[in-house]
Amino acid sequence: MGTIQLRDVHKAFGATNIIPKLDLDIEDGEFVVFVGPSGCGKSTLLRLIAGLEDTTSGKIMIDGRDVTNESPARRKLAMVFQSYALYPHMTVAKNIAFPLKMAGESQSEIDKKVANAARILNLSNYLERRPGQLSGGQRQRVAIGRAIVRQPSAFLFDEPLSNLDAALRGTMRLEISELHQSLGKTMVYVTHDQVEAMTMADKIVVLNAGNIEQVGSPMDLYRNPRNLFVAGFIGSPTMNFVEGRAAEALGAKTIGVRPEHLRITVTNGAWRGVVGVAEHLGSDTFLHVHTDDHGTINVRAGGEIPVTHGDVVFLTPEPAKIHRFDANGKAL
């Protein structure tokens, strides 16, 4: 089991409200990603679940048990930190064995579990090394190994890939997803990278200033953002927002069109503009078009489009893919 429920959870540091009252349900076996900009309270929320921060008020339940006032160790959770937080004076084997040693397990049982975790994470050849002798990716695997051996109810990840380079981040992202498939355990993952959120999550929780803006599957959030914040945060490149006559014509204060939902022609279309920058990636072409009436619009076109800086182009949004928002920023 690995269900987590938050009820009226509130966190304040002195007079500063970090997380206003909030409810959240995480189902057993789900991969939930908390995503939001820096300072939105996502890490604080994870630390509240872990027990590393005390709640100001509200209740946290794990597997139906109220753990609000329990110490981190008693919550049966394992956490992987951004900085790996490995014990530098211990070997890889001892790092992985540490939670088992604290739980008072026998040496033979510890050896067996450490060997198994090392096999799963391809660390068998590094067991006698110290963390300082490992690469970033290997260190992160050790941190994951230390989490696995505890057989926790749920895993908590606090921006675990942000210290890795782009290539390794992609590989580790896949490894964590595969680990989730094979272990079938609940995982709660914090990131500010919406690509990580979209690719890994069963459920995304979008946070802004401590408030939950929307909870849903990645495609749900992509297709039906509840408000301007979610619409702007989910999707890469970000959604284009247009106000004025074009929006009013559709009965909205603001309309949003994703860069991939704009048709581009050189003869005629809804919005005329001049190409500022054209980024040709082969698989895609990204255009930054300075339009006559709607400012700069980002366009993503599949394949190679033979346009370049200074060319005049016409953009037409796909009618079915236009998002409409009212004056309060809520989706219509």
What letter does residue 25 receive in the DSSP assignment? E
Q: Bridge-partner residues for 212, per DSSP?
A: 207
Task: Candidates 37, 87, 107, 133: give the one binding other proteins (CB under 8 A).
Answer: 87
185 makes contact with other proteins (CB under 8 A):
no
145 makes contact with other proteins (CB under 8 A):
no
d(CA 4, CA 205): 14
Binding span for other proteins by CB under 8 A among 3-11, 94-102, 187-195, 250-258: 94-102
261 makes contact with other proteins (CB under 8 A):
no
144 makes contact with other proteins (CB under 8 A):
no
Binding span for other proteins by CB under 8 A among 87-95, 224-232, 267-275, 318-326: 87-95
The tokens 């872990």 sit on which residue?
A: 50
Task: Candidates 12, 85, 168, 301: give the one binding other proteins (CB under 8 A).
Answer: 85
Q: Could you tell me whether strands 262-265 and 271-280 are parallel, antiparallel, or unpaired per DSSP bridges? A: unpaired
d(CA 284, CA 304): 6
Is 131 or 216 the residue whose CB approaches other proteins more closely? 131
Chain residues 35-64 in contact with other proteins, contact rule CB under 8 A: 50, 52
Is 35 or 77 the residue whose CB approaches other proteins more closely? 77
Residue 54 vs residues 51, 85, 101, 120: alpha-carbon distances, Å: 6, 21, 26, 34
Shortest Cβ distance from residue 29 to other proteins (Å)? 21
Which of 138, 191, 192 has its CA nearest to residue 168?
Answer: 138
205 makes contact with other proteins (CB under 8 A):
no
Angle at 254 between CA 299 and CA 229, to 5 degrees: 80
Is residue 177 within 8 A of residue 199, CB to CB? The reply is yes
Task: Candidates 32, 35, 77, 264: give the one binding other proteins (CB under 8 A).
Answer: 77
Is 72 or 295 the residue whose CB approaches other proteins more closely? 72
Which of 268, 259, 265, 332 has its CA nearest to residue 296?
Answer: 259
Task: Candidates 15, 38, 64, 71: give the one binding other proteins (CB under 8 A).
Answer: 71
